[in-house]
Amino acid sequence: MNEATGSPLLRVEGVSRRFADGDVQALDGVSFSASAGETLALTGPSGCGKSTLLSLIGLLDQPDRGRILIGGQDLARVRQASAFRARHLGFVFQYHHMVPTMTLQENVEAPMLALGLPRAARRDRAAELLQAVGLAPRAGFLPRHVSGGERQRAAVARALANRPAIVLADEPTGSLDSRNGQRVVELLITQARAEGALVLVASHNPEVAAALQRRIALRDGVCVADDRERLRPAPPQGLASVFSSTVR
């Protein structure tokens, strides 16, 4: 997605969301903006509003107040949410959500159907991504015949299939042990950065959050910290330097 020069790719402006059911103010006036190529963690304890915020950015829900703009476009004005999602957004969830009857290759190809890509282009792109996440030898396997870490790496490949402007990952390591979780996050960061995407990872795990360039902390639906000020200019670089730049 092309954006006007200088304007951030994502702008969240005073966003609130209340759930009548349970009388919960899940988000209360959250604002921040982020640029293409950034890797950003949404942190905070369970129930602080991370998933609600990702759902709003992912056009899976609408705010009661405030607005969200992606590439300058107000999401409230998007007519076809599913087409917008397919074209501009990639999703990684806590559980992989692979189609069980399709091979990893077919699962990674699936989002490209929505863009009308020819078969050969879908096949090549999926093969390239599976290679990048270390799954080339598993491409023809069904999800149940690979490990949990491998399924989640395939989910990362699938999220990137349509070259999204923004990748939204909600507790992407939640179903994995810490070693496999770390690997999934590393791959998500390297691959998304290589493609210039903005990455937003919601995680209550400080280890995961530490791997990203910037952290926004939520408490009871309010943004209580944003360490953007620490952020140094970050040209495309290897993961080692991404990690060293976040070590304090």
Rule CB under 5 A: which residues touch Mg ion?
50-51
Binding of ligand ADP by 22 (CB under 6 A): yes
User: Please, is 234 exposed, middle or buried when counting C-beta atoms within 10 Å of its C-beta (0-12, 13-18, 19+)?
Assistant: middle
Binding piece for ligand ADP, criterion CB under 6 A, among 41-49, 77-85, 120-128, 140-148: 41-49
How far is 120 from 177, CA to CA, in rounded Å? 36
Interface with ligand ADP (CB under 6 A), residue from 1, 13, 16, 24: 24
Question: Are 139 and 130 in contact, with CB atoms under 8 Å apart?
Answer: yes
How far is 205 from 210, CA to CA, in rounded Å? 9
Binding of ligand ADP by 6 (CB under 6 A): no
How far is 167 from 244, CA to CA, in rounded Å? 23
Choose the contact partner of 94 out of ligand ADP, Mg ion, none; CB within 5 to 8 A by kind. Answer: none
Amino acid at 216: I
At closest approach, how far in Å is the CB of 43 from Mg ion?
Answer: 11
Closest CA to 149 of 186, 123, 100, 112: 186
Interface with ligand ADP (CB under 6 A), residue from 7, 14, 19, 72: 19
Judged by beta carbon, residue 51 or residue 103, the one nearer Mg ion is 51
Choose the contact partner of 48 out of ligand ADP, Mg ion, none; CB within 5 to 8 A by kind. Answer: ligand ADP
How far is 31 from 51, CA to CA, in rounded Å? 16
Binding piece for ligand ADP, criterion CB under 6 A, among 43-51, 86-94, 193-201, 222-230: 43-51
Q: By the criterion CB under 6 A, which residues form the site for ligand ADP?
A: 19, 21-22, 24, 26, 44, 46-52
